[in-house]
Chain A
């Protein structure tokens, strides 16, 4: 545990010429063209965060409508078909368009900063990933506004989702929406893995990388396997069943309803840990600043992250306990589901130890971390309960499960995300959010969340199933539903307060200091917000809390070119520098590629010929992408052969 000196930013002396050259080399172009061609990871990361938040607001409004419908029995505020779209679009949006892009977006923004490099490994690919995400999400929501919203649930079980029971285009649109988001997630995962393994600042060996980065790295590996699974399942098997009459899920032709469930949940269970693990990384990143000590148990936490990732791929059948799976097999999945509590518990204990032995400071980001611990542990404990097959047969598909997963997702992901907003807002925008308003927001949101979801545990025990647009009077469900609706309104108010806080902050001048929280990771070693090239001199890292360990005499990297975009690649384990790598600059080809992919996938909703018609466009934009820029003085030409 070390005390730390004042923030060291860049240090003096520096070469003013170097900075102005860097500015010219790394500056994006202006205006709309600049926005379409930027490959700056901070621009792209910020876009992910803002877009994901917009989807959060959209999906949240749907939830508010659902709660209004359920406030009293046999209500006729929302018709059944509309309600079925509401809960399906709510779930799909929260899972695919908000949660994963949000946490990965934080990764895209902060990882290069935290590991001391200038950009991600494949900057144009990064840009393309964002465009694909926003185009796909837009297609999904535009369809919803035109009455073609998904109505079979985000899990879209067969046979209900087969052509004979869902003859319209709603399911096809959803299958391709999933395609967009999974391509985007896989692209981001590749960025994270390659950047973290090859571009860390000299001296940042693997056992010195921030826990935030470890969490993102582990998650990225999970994404590679889980998202590829859903790609095969939804994009290929299900879409083809509906488009060209393959028979994967058609029981009349040898297909199997449970095959869908197995494959979906093989993706679906890791998916929730893909959302949760980066959130734990955010918590581990914020705690040192608000407790003024490094997180306790670095190695234990890293091992817990890895263990959680592995075990999470072995749990999926616990979503199928009521389908009549044989008892012995089911017990295996109970054991795995119980076992995964252990690494999560280790993380919680390490955080508790950090808090107990640190000097806590109660700024809003800390409050959201505390809220996270309170809510996530509750959700984790109900998770332990539903691991039990007998118990699960009673509460599966009831409001008890709705309560459980909202505690782990709102508590376990949304609260850390809000903590992250308050903590990193100055770095992202150069301004501080109001801490006082933040505390009010926290209180309203925390109370609202509990009021909404705690009664649902009881509703499940009282027999209320999920996904029902209304319910019979006299079963004792009225009061609990009323409470839940009031809680939902409080949550809405809380989010409204946050939006107001952000709006007000953005009108203030950009005067946030580089390190307002006295935090320890490298993103705080540069200005708020960082310049496009992140660091004028890349740091040389000597410990796990670089900013706390830096002094004006700490060595830096010199000798990188400032007239072309250059990043330093280093060895995988010990981060010894070995190559200077040229990093691509602004380009329009990522946007064009995303547009042509969108064109192909949207057409694929309607006809398989889309592959033939769309492929030339995709191919063309990829050719443009790979074409050499042909400006000899702007490349590493001395390596010509």
Chain B
């Protein structure tokens, strides 16, 4: 299958996977931060629409209404109406200001939580490095493009970037925060229901800014811990011959120059960590569904799907490619 067709099929498959209409909708909140913002948004949408309709009504009345002829009285009346208009405008703006400050305070209340889950999100052109730091290095989880969080628990996200400015945006959970290389920052969010929420890079970061999305997977606490435990384990030695051949292909090729698989000699950090690649749902920062066919197309020539990525094309003969795919898919 050529890369181009793969992209289209893959795209649809991701969509189906994520069940996505509304998975990225800011007005469909799944957590308290997005919820507060949605509330504020609806207040403004409704009240400003009313104001707008009133202004349109005044305009049209003025255009088609009857003329009463000029006089000092009518000028004075107009002055009164304009002053009333200005007073109402000012009053409304004051209300908005107060609301704004109070919602802002509400948003930062999560930061006072005692026991947040800490996650580092580091931006790269054009993928997300996601690290769950721990005191012991062998309990640190490093993954890419997929952020798992426990439902109902505050998550403290620490942002930074290794190259240009990116922006992490998960609309159903929170407003966005920029990933500025020389200005790391911190923000908090929480998911109050399980599900898969889609996120985007929301700051123009170059050629493939359009294909830098991520999946946020909110799971009940127990499931999350199980996932985290599995992610801490290094990759198992492959049992069957095909996967062993695949591992050899991986280690002898150019892959280890950028990718790491814990438990092997591959330890580079330039590209996404592949230790548990098989457990991830997407390839290429949520550009493609993670399937054998898509993976093959991606490895052979990622530029068909995401032109300009830093990963080179890899012309690998078909049988080895098949083994390599089996190896990678088995990295659960």
Contact = CB atoms under 8 A, between A and B. Distances in A.
A148 B220 CA distance: 51
Q: Name, among A339, A382, A470, A474, the residue most crowded by chain B CB atoms within 10 Å (CB to CB).
A: A474
Given A356-B58, A378-B52, A160 B205 contact: yes
A258 B176 contact: no
Interface in A31-82: 73-74, 76, 79-81
B183 interface: yes
B74 interface: yes
Most buried by B among A73, A258, A296, A391: A391
Given A331-B101, A472-B14, A385 B48 contact: yes
A468 B174 CA distance: 21
B59 A80 contact: no
Given A322-B167, A324-B183, A476-B21, A160 B89 contact: no
Contacts of A395: 26
A181 interface: no
Nearest to B21: A476
Contact of A391 (B37, B62, B108): B37
Contacts of A396: 175-176, 202
Contacts of B108: 327
B313 interface: no
A466 interface: yes
B59 A355 contact: yes
Contacts of B250: none
Interface string B88-103: 0110010011011101
Contacts of A374: 56, 59
Given A338-B96, A474-B20, A160 B175 contact: no
A324 B11 contact: no
A232 to B, nearest CB: 21
A381 interface: yes
Contacts of B20: 472, 474-476
B198 interface: yes
B134 interface: no
Contacts of B58: 352, 356
Contacts of B21: 474-476
B246 interface: no
Task: Assign chain B's interface to a size class.
Answer: 35 or more
B81 interface: yes
A342 B171 contact: no
Interface of A: 1, 73-74, 76, 79-81, 84, 152-153, 157, 159-160, 165, 251, 255-258, 293, 296-297, 300, 322-324, 327, 330-331, 334-335, 338-339, 341-342, 345-346, 348-350, 352-353, 355-357, 359-360, 370, 373-374, 377-378, 381-382, 384-385, 387-398, 460-463, 465-476
A319 to B, nearest CB: 11
B87 to A, nearest CB: 10
20 contacts: A76-B4, A80-B207, A81-B307, A84-B206, A165-B164, A330-B104, A341-B89, A352-B59, A356-B61, A357-B62, A389-B104, A390-B104, A393-B174, A394-B176, A460-B26, A461-B26, A467-B204, A467-B210, A468-B209, A469-B210
A1 B97 CA distance: 40
A214 B193 CA distance: 57
Interface stretch (B63-71, B223-231, B254-262, B290-298): B63-71
Given A80-B210, A356-B58, A390-B36, A159 B165 contact: yes
Interface in B75-122: 75, 78-79, 81-82, 85-86, 89-90, 93, 96-97, 99-101, 103-104, 107-108
B242 interface: no
A57 B205 CA distance: 28
B181 A393 contact: no
A324 B78 contact: no
A352 B163 CA distance: 51
B251 interface: no
Nearest to A83: B210
A377 B4 CA distance: 44
Contacts of A74: 7-8, 11
Interface in B21-45: 21-27, 34, 36-37, 40-41, 44-45
A359 B67 contact: yes
Given A342-B89, A396-B176, A463 B171 contact: yes
Nearest to B82: A349
A472 B163 contact: no
A394 B175 contact: yes
A297 B27 CA distance: 41
A338 B183 contact: no
B108 to A, nearest CB: 7
B15 A394 contact: no
Contacts of A346: 82, 86
Contacts of A349: 81-82, 85-86
A297 B48 contact: no
B16 interface: yes
B208 interface: yes
A264 to B, nearest CB: 13
A154 to B, nearest CB: 11
Contact of A322 (B107, B177, B201): B177
A390 B175 contact: yes
Interface string B282-301: 00001100000000000000
B24 A463 contact: yes
A199 to B, nearest CB: 32
B308 A80 contact: yes
Contacts of A352: 55, 58-59, 62
Contacts of B81: 349, 353
B164 A394 contact: no
B182 A256 contact: yes
B203 interface: yes
B2 interface: no
Contact of B27 (A73, A76, A461, A465): A461
Contacts of B4: 76
Contacts of A463: 24-26, 169, 171, 198, 200
Given A322-B167, A346-B82, A81 B207 contact: yes
A466 B202 CA distance: 7
B180 interface: yes
B98 to A, nearest CB: 11
Contacts of A473: 8, 11-12, 15
Contact of A466 (B7, B26, B159, B204): B204
Contacts of B48: 381-382, 384-385
B178 interface: yes
B263 to A, nearest CB: 33
B67 A461 contact: no
B248 interface: no
B37 A390 contact: yes
A331 B93 contact: no
Contacts of A159: 163-165, 181
A257 B182 contact: yes
A282 B47 CA distance: 30
